[in-house]
């Protein structure tokens, strides 16, 4: 059974449950107990989970007034995890804050506050219930994401998603391609083609483990982690 590391987060239950139902064995890791250097040889796949904002100084910007920092050390830890995982081609599934960490780790930047920076922005920060549908995403035809979601997409390339973020990718990192956008232009998913599995989504697919809307994503990730 593939061993899946889930980067530290405050509410791990739905991530663990999604990984378990997809056939993986989840472990919550943290930078004290699990140095990033050891992780890629101990685990078969890595989930980067939700959380607070990435320090803007890491991508060379001053902090916006709405900035809320992650716990000290978490940004650096997860960025190192991404680099080492990509080096070893260990599958990565990056969720919410995770897609932002992935983009920053590869040299991209973040939009620090969607309501201040996007005219006519859709509601991207709908907190309750956690599986509430906030907006659609348009998937890029032929992308890994679109191929995995094909059976669930009813019309065109749209899928309804939940949304709990006020930041998003601004400048896309080299090597990543956009695999979904919201109708207001906000980047909602990216992937790195040619990898065993490197997918980032800005929504929270783990919150749908009971109803299975996004279980194909977790299943493909765990399958790619099988050695």
Q: Are 149 and 141 in contact (CB under 8 A)?
A: no
| Position with the least CB separation from Mn ion | 163
Return the number of other C-beta atoms located less than 10 Å from residue 205's C-beta.
Answer: 23
CA 2/CA 11 separation, integer angstroms: 22
CA atoms within 13 A on the CB side of 179: 22
Q: Which residue has the tokens 């992308």?
A: 143
Q: Mask 149-188, x = binds Mn ion (CB under 5 A)?
A: --------------x-------------------------
The active-site residue, picked from 34, 135, 204, 213, is 204
Residue 204 binding Mn ion, by CB under 5 A: no
Is residue 214 packed enough to be buried (19+ CB in 10 Å), middle (13-18) or exposed (0-12)?
buried
Whichever of 74 and 165 has its CB closer to Mn ion, that residue is: 165
Considering only residues 34, 74, 97, 124, which one is a binding residue for Mn ion as defined by CB under 5 A?
A: 124
CA 15/CA 18 separation, integer angstroms: 5
206 is catalytic: yes
80 is catalytic: no
Query: How many degrees, rounded to 5, is the angle at CA 159 between CA 197 and CA 82?
Result: 25
Is residue 173 packed enough to be buried (19+ CB in 10 Å), middle (13-18) or exposed (0-12)?
middle
**Smallest gap from residue 135 Cβ to Mn ion (A):** 6
Whichever of 28 and 178 has its CB closer to Mn ion, that residue is: 178
The active-site residue, picked from 96, 146, 166, 213, is 96
**Of the listed pieces 3-11, 55-63, 122-130, 144-152, which binds Mn ion according to CB under 5 A?**
122-130
Whichever of 74 and 124 has its CB closer to Mn ion, that residue is: 124
Whichever of 163 and 167 has its CB closer to Mn ion, that residue is: 163
96 is catalytic: yes
The binding site for Mn ion (CB under 5 A) comprises: 124, 163
User: Which are the catalytic amino acids?
Assistant: 96, 204, 206
């Amino acid at each position: 059974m593939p061993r899946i590391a889930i980067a530290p987060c405050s509410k791990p239950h739905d991530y663990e449950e999604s990984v378990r139902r997809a056939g993986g064995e989840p472990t919550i890791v943290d930078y004290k107990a699990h140095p990033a250097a050891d992780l890629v040889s101990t685990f078969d796949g890595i989930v980067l989970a939700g959380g607070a904002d990435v320090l803007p100084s890491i991508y060379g910007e001053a902090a916006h007034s709405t900035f809320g920092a992650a716990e000290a050390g978490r940004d650096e830890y997860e960025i190192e995890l991404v680099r080492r995982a990509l080096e070893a081609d260990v599958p990565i599934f990056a969720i919410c804050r995770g897609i932002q960490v992935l983009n920053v780790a590869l040299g991209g930047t973040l939009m620090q506050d969607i309501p201040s920076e996007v005219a006519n922005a859709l509601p991207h920060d709908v907190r309750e219930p956690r599986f509430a549908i906030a907006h659609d995403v348009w998937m890029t035809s032929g992308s890994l994401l679109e191929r995995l979601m094909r059976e669930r997409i009813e019309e065109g390339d749209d899928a309804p998603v939940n949304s709990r973020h006020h930041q998003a990718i601004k400048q896309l990192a080299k090597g990543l391609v956009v695999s979904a956008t919201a109708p207001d232009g906000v980047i909602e998913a990216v992937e790195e083609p040619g990898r065993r599995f490197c997918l980032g989504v800005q929504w929270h697919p783990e919150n749908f483990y009971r109803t299975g809307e996004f279980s194909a994503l977790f299943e493909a990730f765990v399958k790619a982690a099988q050695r």
